Amino acid sequence: MRINRMILVFIMSGIVLLLGGCGLGSTPFQLLQPPAQSQQQSNIRQEVLQQLPPHSKLVIPDNGPYGATAIFIKDILGDGHRQVIAFYANESDEFEHGYIVLRENKGKWERMDQVTVPSRGIDFFQLADLDGDGRSEIITGWKGGVRGRNELQIHSVNEQDKLELDGDMLYTQMLVTDLEGNNRPELFNLSWDSEKMVAEAALYDFQDGQLVKQTALDLDGAINGYAQVVTGKVNGERQGIVIVADIGAHSSYTSMLIKEQGQLKDVLNADPLNPEFFNAQTTLSEDVNGDGILEIDRMKEPPGTEDIPYADMPFIHEWIQWTPQGKLQPVMDSFYDFENNYRFELPVRWTDQVTLQYIGDNNEGISFRPLRNPEISLLEIKMVPMSGKSQEIEKWKNAGYQFVSLREGKDKWIAGIFPESLDGYPNAIQSLAISVKELVSGFTDTKF
């Protein structure tokens, strides 16, 4: 079972003044400018459409920090004047993609230059001042087919206001990061050769118009692919890169790379070629508690479930931070129902005291039970088809159960049920009781 969670921590809304603002909804054209300028945005879009090569249409890069947009506005030259970058695909040739650059001149938009590349699509786009000269380089990844790798190109605008190719290389996953924390962007290239089963993580500087490899680290290449490659704060002091690689039928392993004494280091796996940070299913990292730091998701069996087959195991997802002292610190336990798209944060007092058990013929519910008294149900979260909602409510009322609605959709209703009162039980059991307020605050809808 694959986890389909979107990592939103690093996605910026709108596009490229890189300052804030709003966009034009789900259209392929968004600007980081105030809503009052929507007419100007519309005018720019019309200019772009007129300047596109024949038989072309606007297309949106698959990855990058700017959201779903095909047209970007920014002063990439640092001269106080705006430029437009617009990505396109040739409708008469599926292997031709590119972008045009327009500049504003006396209130009008004129084409500066154009890049056309044979590719299967646009994988990545980002603007960054890689060499610190006050001008932004245009970093573009084009979809390729060379053993699963794509082609990265870096263009800058020269003194003649033409685009100049300053560097290119093959990659599988690409990030712009700052592992040094000195506000000087670096390029992270994760290159995987699926035929030779070798992989390399490398950091590049951009110096004097050239890509220069700083450091590299060999990784395990006997994988199925990468489920996640993301950069961000990995503790309060460091930036890092988290990589989740798919292996086997459903499982994965996680690496966390930092830069230490100028070298890349995997802090989760002593030997990056023989990783040990495995999960039975593919799990992705995210800032799950909103503290600005990436947590790693490590699956663990609930206590008391040693005899349950892996296929039927109601795993607990233990969220872990890597501390500045180099230790792994659990910060939260949660249960995921990926079929019904929700997450429930387990109270801290339940750690090692409460076990989990699927309920229903099709595992449509989950029950949380004291480890030492598993015949007691503290809480049940259950999916009920809308067609059977009335019957379930009547049954629960007749049984005297307290219940609360957690999410209601067109076909499904998810409810939290408190099957029994804990009055009369020992204090150790009563201390595990959960309130409606705790349940509601710990329930998160993961359906985007």
What secondary structure does DSSP assign to 112-170, as a single string? EEEEEEE-S-EEEEEEE-SSSSSS-EEEEEEEEEETTEEEEEEEEE-TTS-EEEEEEEE
Q: Considering only residues 107 and 296, tell me which one the structure prediction assigns the higher pLDDT.
A: 296
Contact 83, 77 (CB under 8 A): yes
> The tokens of 50 are what?
């007129």
Q: Are 177 and 238 in contact (CB under 8 A)?
A: no
Return the SS3 of 445: strand
Domain ranges, ordered by start, for the chain: 43-170, 172-285, 303-447
Q: How confident is the model at residue 20 (pLDDT cuts 50, 70, 90)?
A: very low
User: Any idea which fold 43-170 has?
Assistant: Lipocalin (2.40.128)
d(CA 213, CA 204): 4
CA distances, 41 to each of 23, 48, 173, 192, 334 (Å): 9, 10, 32, 40, 44
HSE of 71 in the Cβ direction (CA atoms, 13 Å)?
28
Amino acid in position 417: I
Question: What is the mean pLDDT of the segment spanning 100-116?
Answer: 91
H or E element, residue 436: helix 436-442
Residue 39, pLDDT score: 76
Please state whether 106 falls in left (phi above 0), alpha (psi between -120 and 50) or beta: left
From the list 3, 2, 5, 11, the residue with the least C-alpha distance to 232 is: 11
pLDDT at 145 over 90: no
- pLDDT surpassing 50 at residue 7: no
Mean pLDDT within 38-59: 89
| pLDDT tens string 403-438 | 999 999 999 999 999 998 888 899 999 999 999 999
Confidence band, pLDDT 50/70/90 cuts, at residue 249? confident
Query: Taking the alpha carbons of 228, 232, 235, 238 in that order, is the dihedral positive or negative?
Result: positive
Specify the pLDDT at position 104: 86
Q: Is 198 exposed, middle or buried (0-12, 13-18, 19+ CB in 10 A)?
A: middle
User: 């309060």: which residue's tokens?
Assistant: 236
pLDDT tens digits along 366-408: 999 999 999 999 999 999 999 999 999 999 999 999 999 999 9
Assessment of whether the complete model's pTM goes beyond 0.75? yes
Q: Mean pLDDT over residues 157-175, rounded?
A: 94
pLDDT confidence of 203, banded at 50, 70, 90? very high
Q: Is the pLDDT of residue 55 over 70?
A: yes
Average pLDDT value for residue range 341-353: 97
Helix (H, G, I), strand (E, B) or coil at 93: coil
- Residues 176-181 have a mean pLDDT of 94
Which pLDDT belongs to residue 252?
Answer: 95
pLDDT in tens, 26-44: 334 444 344 444 777 788 8
Percent of the chain with pLDDT over 90: 75
What is the structure's pLDDT at 12? 32
Mean pLDDT of the residues in the chain: 89
DSSP secondary structure letter of residue 431: T
- The answer to whether 322 and 331 are in contact (CB under 8 A) is no
Indicate whether 148 pLDDT > 70: no
- The pLDDT of residue 42 is 83
d(CA 243, CA 231): 9
Q: Residue-wise over 366-385: b if at least 16 C-beta within 10 A, else e? A: bbbbbeeeeebbbbbbbbbe
Give me the mean pLDDT over the 190-218 stretch: 94
> In b/e form, how buried is each residue of 287-297, taking b as 16+ CB within 10 angstroms?
bbeeeebbbbb
The predicted pLDDT at position 248 comes to 87
Q: Write down the H helix ranges in 18-147.
A: 38-51
Return the minimum-mean-pLDDT range out of 105-109, 116-120, 139-143, 205-209: 105-109
| pLDDT for the residue numbered 428 | 93
| Whether the predicted pLDDT of 180 surpasses 60 | yes
Q: What pLDDT score was predicted for residue 23?
A: 33
In sequence order, the 6+-apart residues with CB closer than 8 A to the CB of 216 are 200, 201, 202, 203, 264
Mean pLDDT of 321-348: 95
Three-state helix/strand/coil letters over 299-314: EECCCCCCCCCHHHCC
Taking residues 118-147, report their average pLDDT: 91
In this structure, is the dihedral angle defined by the CA atoms of residues 62, 66, 72 and 76, taken in order, positive or negative?
A: negative
pLDDT in the model for residue 22: 33
Give me the pLDDT at residue 218, please.
97
Question: Residues near 200 by Cβ (< 8 Å), separated by ≥ 6?
Answer: 189, 190, 191, 216, 217, 218, 219
Q: Quick one: pLDDT at residue 231?
A: 97
Compute the average pLDDT of residues 7-34.
35
Cα distances (Å, whole numbers) of residue 295 to 85, 241, 290, 316, 319: 35, 12, 10, 15, 6
Give residue 28's pLDDT.
40
Residues in a beta bridge with 173: 190
- Alpha carbon distance 88, 49 (integer Å): 10
Q: Choose the weakest-confidence range: 15-29, 180-194, 282-296.
A: 15-29
Q: How does pLDDT run across 221-243, given as a tens digit for each residue?
A: 999 999 999 999 999 999 999 99
Q: Which of 304-308, 345-349, 355-359 has the lowest mean pLDDT?
A: 304-308
